[in-house]
Structure 1
Amino acid sequence: MDSDGGRTRTEVDAGDIQIWKEAVTRVRLSQAVVEQCGDPMAGSALSEDDASCPATAKISDAARGVLFAALDNLAMWCNAVAPKVYVEGVPSESASRPHFTLARAGIECAAQAGWLLEPEDRATRIERHLRLVLADMGEEQKAAGRHDPAVAAVLGERIAALKEDHGPIKAAPAYLDMVRATAGRGGVTDDHAEVLWRTASAAAHGKAWFVGAAHITHLGEEFAEGRFRAVHEVNPRAISAVVGFASKLVLWATFQYVSRLGLDFPSLYSSGLAQVASDLPRSVPDVPSETAE
């Protein structure tokens, strides 16, 4: 793995490799489970939720969309560290920041899905859904306003109609609020979740403090007063912490989704696990074998 700000490589030890393997398995298992799901079962929580939602903004569609977004980002991380097919003797290498950037996207989307689906009370789920829908439409309207005023106007009408039909709608929570609210489901405290999220955000946004937070710094020569040559070696444990949290959170969000659909999670879990086991990463030789004449 390449360090930040240089090409120094860091080997990942067995303990962190095991954590990464477990994280990859959770993500790929979650994918396998979600891909088996269809429409909500009659009489299920999401079926009844959908009946109370606008025709163009069903809660089941929103939940599926944001859960797929979490899995798409985390799957890309999986494919980087544990490709389905790899070449014997060729190490997997990557820079440090993308690990955190992809994990951050997964955390935000999984937290949103879980925050939306967790309440047992239907009215609370629908209220949360409408808050997220309104925020989504507002962002789309801002973007449209920069290039297509007609579309922005239509969106403004839809926003007004939503408010008229459902009464006052509170602003959606910030991503950090949802991350903190669901932190325990990912196995960490809300404060620890915030630290992980802020560190991952710093990686994505190119913040300087990310280097100190996720790397081990080795000082070299002092080339000017108070200034030293330095090598920043990525700390694999920092990656393990953020991907471990992200993968646990997305598996929990998957459980919430399947349960609200009215489907049997243990059955889908078992078949998903069998699918993951049948498609484990495999190696190929670095030199292709000769073709038979």
Structure 2
Amino acid sequence: MPKDQTPVPPHVARALRQINEWQKATSEPSPVVEAGSSLSGDDAKVPTLRVSSAAYQCFAHAVDHLHAVQALLFEAKVIHSYAPYSLLRAAVEAAGEAIWLLEPSSRQERIRRCLKRAYENVSKGRQFMDLSGLQQSGRTHEERIQELRDLATQHSLDPNGICGRWSTQAQLKYVDEVVLDGKEALAQNLWQICSGFAHGREWATLGLLERTVHSQVGNVVQIRLSSSTEVLLNMLYMTTLLTTKAKALYDIRRTCHQ
């Protein structure tokens, strides 16, 4: 229980139990992709990438960050003012990416998105190697990118589109518009708020944190900012909803429906 002993609402308690179940599950081998399922067909088309592995990795990342927030609050019993929101930001991004990968009914589109994700990984890896001065081993970045371009052509996809711009915000906009029927910008709002905390933006911290005024001299005010347990738990709950959607899509795509 957090130090301020704020009661945990029933819906949040259910989310916390779900996070614990996921954390245990992700420490085991990933679920079996059944023969004849959508993901089985996807993986057969791009066996060197495996759409199923990419999607489950996103889900596991979301769970890891959600569990870290839970551990801080209920095991360490520490409520940091800023850090939990950075963890939730990572969970929102990962859950949103899993949904973005899995939601399309078209196999070609799921493969396109998997290739695009793979290109982003290779591209960022090359940037890191260039900056760090480390020597790459195995295939070169150019060879890996060419493989992705070849796969795109093989599946009648535009190679230049595969190697185009990557946008987390565009993915989350897709989640809101397609998966949540455009009723609210839940994923985008969560991400924007948590990004504000991650980058130390005053609009986020002053807007959501509780303030205690210590002193004021003229226009200079000394204040203490502290996290609201209620706000944090609600944001944890909403991020869990996104992750639940990602897991549900993964289970639908990996199982064979007769």
1:206 aligns with 2:200: yes
Query: CA–CA distance in 2 between the matches of 1:188 and 1:216?
Result: 31
CA shift in 2, pair 1:251/1:47, >3 Å: same
CA shift in 2, pair 1:197/1:189, >3 Å: farther
Which residue does the alignment assign to 2:103? 118
Which residue does the alignment assign to 1:267? none
Compare CA radii of gyration and give the structure with the larger one: 1
**How much has 1:153 moved relative to structure 2?**
7.2
Q: What letter corresponds to residue 251 of structure 1 in structure 2?
A: T
1:136 aligns with 2:136: no
Q: Deviation digits for residues 206-251 of structure 1, max 9, x if unmatched?
A: 333332122122334322x211222323223331332122101111
CA shift in 2, pair 1:192/1:60, >3 Å: closer
Count of aligned pairs between the two proteins: 247
CA shift in 2, pair 1:144/1:36, >3 Å: closer
When structure 1 is superposed on structure 2, of 60-69 and 225-234 the one drifting more is: 225-234
CA shift in 2, pair 1:212/1:12, >3 Å: farther
Q: Deviation digits for residues 25-58 of structure 1, max 9, x if unmatched?
A: 23223345554743311111111001111x3211
- What are the within-5 Å matches in structure 2 for residues 1-293 of structure 1? 11=4, 13-14=6-7, 16-32=8-24, 35=28, 37-53=30-46, 55-83=47-75, 92-146=77-131, 147-151=133-137, 154-167=140-153, 168-169=158-159, 170=161, 171=164, 173-183=166-176, 189-223=183-217, 225-262=218-255
Ranges in structure 2 where 5+ consecutive residues have no aligned partner: none
Query: CA–CA distance in 2 between the matches of 1:196 and 1:241?
Result: 11
CA shift in 2, pair 1:138/1:111, >3 Å: same
**How much has 1:195 moved relative to structure 2?**
2.6
CA shift in 2, pair 1:75/1:221, >3 Å: closer
Q: Secondary structure of 2:223's partner?
A: strand
Q: What letter corresponds to residue 51 of structure 1 in structure 2?
A: A
Q: Secondary structure of 1:230's partner?
A: strand
Query: CA–CA distance in 2 between the matches of 1:72 and 1:186?
Result: 24
**How much has 1:12 moved relative to structure 2?**
5.1
Q: What letter corresponds to residue 158 of structure 1 in structure 2?
A: R
Query: CA–CA distance in 1 between the matches of 2:136 and 2:222?
Result: 55
CA shift in 2, pair 1:187/1:231, >3 Å: farther
Which residue does the alignment assign to 1:274? none
Two-structure CA RMSD over aligned residues (Å): 2.9
Identity, % of aligned positions: 21
TM-score by length of 2: 0.83
Q: Secondary structure of 2:140's partner?
A: helix
Ranges in structure 1 where 5+ consecutive residues have no aligned partner: 3-9, 84-90, 265-293
**How much has 1:175 moved relative to structure 2?**
1.3
TM-score by length of 1: 0.74
When structure 1 is superposed on structure 2, of 67-76 and 170-179 the one drifting more is: 170-179
**How much has 1:66 moved relative to structure 2?**
1.5
Q: What letter corresponds to residue 61 of structure 1 in structure 2?
A: S
